[in-house]
Amino acid sequence: MSTATEQVWTLGALLDWTAKHLADKKVETPRLDAEVLLAHVIGGKRIDLYGIRHNEVASPEVKQKYRDLIRKRIEGCPVAYLTGRKEFYGLELKVSPAVLIPRPDSEHVVMECIKVAKAMKAPRVLDIGVGSGNLAIAIAKHHPAAQVTATDKSPDALKIAQENAAKHGIGERIRFLEGDLFGPLAADETFDFIVSNPPYIPDEDIPKLPIGVRQYEPLAALQGGPGGFVVFERLIHDARKHLAPGGHLIVEIGAPQEKHARELLAAIPEYTLAATIHDYSGHPRVLRAQRK
């Protein structure tokens, strides 16, 4: 993508050069990132870059826009923020630095909820810390009768979650409330499911995170306080007031936190703790506790 010569660049040649350039810069997934960003710039699909548009000559506008995105990627900005979207559980979601980028491992929260709720006619579901809306929207899409409520203390995150819900045709089926954890709810309101991907990164580990996470993603959605359990402990204790008898709390955790997280849940007499759910890499990722 050098500007030193006036050589003609096809999209295929541009892709090949950029993938190598990203590899040289030690970007983790150079080919994939090059494909996703170029497809985004041309308004097409990744497969087009190997098919119908491979030999298309890149316009000066395409080259400039692509160059700008690649520079930001090398600086550490996540691809999802550069494209403004991320796929989660088969759904394309809008994302921005106001929300955590949805991870595939969080899909296990959705799968567990849907599995347990399958036999229920109209389960009441609460998503604490909705972020982009990934958990709430995926659950609502896959259980058409679910009654979903979602809370977040960030108005910017709620706005994005509402846009995503509207995009997927379920804007009227999810109630969005602004506030911290259970704060926006009526004291006597109860649910069959409470799901959450709370902040669980120990404060002391934040400086060790990849630059794309620690410098670009919202710290409030990551920082779990000293040890990483500050929000988790508030969540599991306060959830008791809002879980119907027999209701389920489904929470994502950090893989190294499984033992202590299970101990904290087991110490609460109102809960019966289920087996740990492991993620796609085989790491402990989701805990489920049922209110007795």
Last residue of a domain, one of 75, 106, 125: 75
The verdict on residue 89 lying in a domain is no
The verdict on residue 47 lying in a domain is yes
Q: What is the pTM of this model?
A: 0.93
> Which helix (H) or strand (E) segment is 148 a member of?
strand 147-152
Among all chains, which residue has been given the structure tokens 């190598």?
20
Q: What distance separates the 2 farthest-apart alpha carbons in the chain?
A: 72
pLDDT at site 4: 47
Report the C-alpha gap between 95 and 262 in whole angstroms.
32
**Looking at the structure, do residues 169 and 60 belong to the same domain, yes or no?**
no
- Number of Cβ within 10 Å of residue 6's Cβ equals 5
The token pair that represents 25 in the structure block:
């810069």
**Looking at the structure, do residues 129 and 164 belong to the same domain, yes or no?**
yes
Total domains in the fold of the chain: 2
| DSSP state at residue 46 | G
> Which helix (H) or strand (E) segment is 284 a member of?
strand 284-291
Give every CB contact of residue 262 below 8 A, 6+ residues apart in sequence: 273, 276, 287
Give every CB contact of residue 289 below 8 A, 6+ residues apart in sequence: 236, 248, 249, 265, 268, 271, 272, 273, 274
The verdict on residue 80 lying in a domain is no
Angle between helices 134-142 and 107-117 (to 10 degrees): 30
- Whether 6 has a pLDDT exceeding 90, the answer reads no
- Number of Cβ within 10 Å of residue 48's Cβ equals 17
Average model confidence (pLDDT) for the chain? 96
Tens-place pLDDT, residues 247-284: 999 999 999 999 999 999 999 999 999 999 999 999 99
**Looking at the structure, do residues 47 and 118 belong to the same domain, yes or no?**
no
Report the C-alpha gap between 136 and 151 in whole angstroms.
10
89 close to 99: Cβ distance less than 8 angstroms: no
**Looking at the structure, do residues 49 and 181 belong to the same domain, yes or no?**
no
Among all chains, which residue has been given the structure tokens 């929260």?
109
The verdict on residue 4 lying in a domain is no
**Looking at the structure, do residues 121 and 229 belong to the same domain, yes or no?**
yes
Domain that holds residue 271: 97-291
The token pair that represents 90 in the structure block:
């088969």
Tens-place pLDDT, residues 102-158: 999 999 999 999 999 999 999 999 999 999 999 999 999 999 999 999 999 999 999
**Looking at the structure, do residues 50 and 125 belong to the same domain, yes or no?**
no
Give every CB contact of residue 56 below 8 A, 6+ residues apart in sequence: 10, 11
Burial of 278 (0-12, 13-18, 19+ CB in 10 A): middle
Please give the share of the chain, as a percent, with pLDDT higher than 90. Answer: 97
